[in-house]
Amino acid sequence: MHHSDAAERLSRMIRIPTVSAELDERGPAPFDDFAAVLAELYPHVHRALDRERITEFGLLFRWRGADAGLDPVVLMAHYDVVPVDERDDWAHPPFEGRIADGYVHGRGALDDKGPLLVILEAVESLLTEGFVPARDVYLSFGGNEETFGSAARAIADTFTARGITPWLVLDEGGAVVDAPLPLVRGRAAMVGVGEKGPMTLRLSARGDGGHASAPPSLTAARRVARAVTRLDPGTFPARTPVGVSRMLAGFVPSTAGPARGLYRLLAAHPRLTARVFARLGGEPAAMVRTTVAATMLAGGTAPNVLPSRASATVNLRIALGETVASTVRRVRRRIADRRVLIEVVDGEEPSPESSTDNAQFALIAESVGASHPEARTVPYIMMAATDSRHFHRFAPAVYRFAPLAMSAELRATIHGVDERVSIAELERGTRFHRALLQRLPARPGA
């Protein structure tokens, strides 16, 4: 397959506006069109693999391997994309799929149609060579990850119902990046080994309405404001997940001088790491603690009338090792006001941490060696949620990594303006998945 053909195929995918958040306006046609275009672009995949539609938006392909008795591999991606703000100025129209200056441009190029394409490119090319994987391989593609992924949940439930425990699940997440942390040189393939649990709470208080000229000392609005203020960044304790210590250790060889000593020290002392990262704020702090941020405030009907009810919506990302219940308990203790009602609007448990000491992680690192030999494979903890979280209840080895190199500038285009992927990276991403599929372990001694 010629690499520009892959770019052409990705361009076709980008032209289909599979914007899950705009399903009501656009209707289901783009999602049906997408499934039809895949069938046209990947004829061998559609001939050789069993295909199921699971819910309206889930596509599950099964590639039968040489040994049906072995636990299968699940390669995941999603084909829905986030909306484009009409006021944003793109260099090339977001749904045109323009191929120019070595890139394929458009919404979804990196998140997540590019990563979906490299899976299919690898499988299609291996099929044309008559290759049979050592064990079953499933391709699981969801069409509503950006609107919280009911398709992926239904696919995961299908595996449970059939009593299938995947040996490895690989979904989007990290990527191959330059200088991932301060003082670290070179490239790293960042593989997500766990993810935080997203949660939304509503805090509300009732008060006596009445005229604003003689307010009581604690109005409903003030009660809610006080509760929000009490939920400061230090609300939750800082704790370093194993994956973060492993990440720091993984960067030791890519550092020099005093930086090397610092990374070595942090890798060996998780409690020190927790304190340092919490101090740094921003992303480092988010790696070691549950974050909490008020996102919406509401109350009141008129400028001179006391609101009888006020509320705040608070978004949390629950750290690994904590639970929905323990998080609510701590929020309640921190607010320390019985008259503030706390409702869980939605909440998901954080994932367990997948190991970096197993054959699965070693296989990912080996495949990175085939696609990005200059990169060191390093684990990390994801802040955002992916479709793969639905497999965590029963699959022991779940990782999040897209085998594409992305500069900081490119990463910023995800959910932003001028999203695009390098054509050369589509080639390398395909190489990663070919290597992974060719090296799947067979039964020992077989």
Q: With a cut of 50, say whether residue 22 has pLDDT above it.
A: yes
CB of 199 within 8 A of CB of 324? yes
Question: Left if phi > 0, otherwise alpha if psi is -120 to 50, otherwise beta: which for 306?
Answer: beta
* Structure letter (DSSP) for residue 349: P
384: pLDDT confidence band, cut at 50, 70 and 90? confident
Give the 3-state secondary structure of residue 379.
strand
Q: With a cut of 90, say whether residue 4 has pLDDT above it.
A: no
CA end-to-end span of the chain:
32
* Beta bridge partners of residue 305, listed in sequence order: 211
pLDDT digits 0-9 by tens, 123-134: 999 999 999 999
- The pLDDT assigned to 398 comes to 98
Domains annotated for the chain, with CATH where assigned, are: 3-194+351-438 (3.40.630.10), 196-347 (3.30.70.360)
Q: With a cut of 90, say whether residue 90 has pLDDT above it.
A: yes
Output the average pLDDT for the chain: 95
Mean pLDDT of 154-171: 97
* Amino acid at position 34, single letter: F
Query: Exposed, middle or buried: residue 36 (CB in 10 Å: 0-12, 13-18, 19+)?
Result: exposed
Mean pLDDT of 322-340: 97
CB of 318 within 8 A of CB of 350? yes
Q: With a cut of 60, say whether residue 249 has pLDDT above it.
A: yes
- The pLDDT assigned to 181 comes to 84
Provide the total of helices (H) and of strands (E) in the chain, helices listed first: 15, 17
Instruction: Using alpha carbons only, give the angle 221, 224, 229 rounded to the nearest 5 degrees.
Output: 120
Strands 137-142 and 73-78: parallel
3: pLDDT confidence band, cut at 50, 70 and 90? very low
- Between the CA of residue 98 and those of 11, 58, 93, 104, 122, what are the distances in Å? 7, 27, 8, 6, 23
Mean pLDDT of 282-291: 93
pLDDT digits 0-9 by tens, 30-54: 999 999 999 999 999 999 999 999 9
- The pLDDT assigned to 446 comes to 59
Tokens 């070693």 appear where?
362
Closest CA to 123 of 369, 349, 440, 445: 440
Mean pLDDT of 327-346: 97
pLDDT digits 0-9 by tens, 177-220: 997 888 899 999 999 999 999 999 999 999 888 888 888 889 99
CB of 273 within 8 A of CB of 245? yes
User: Which residues are designated catalytic?
Assistant: 80, 145
Instruction: Using alpha carbons only, give the angle 315, 110, 417 rounded to the nearest 5 degrees.
Output: 70
Whole-model pTM: value is: 0.92
CB of 79 within 8 A of CB of 34? yes
Helix (H) or strand (E) holding 344: strand 341-347
Q: With a cut of 70, say whether residue 364 has pLDDT above it.
A: yes
Q: What percent of the chain has pLDDT over 70?
A: 99
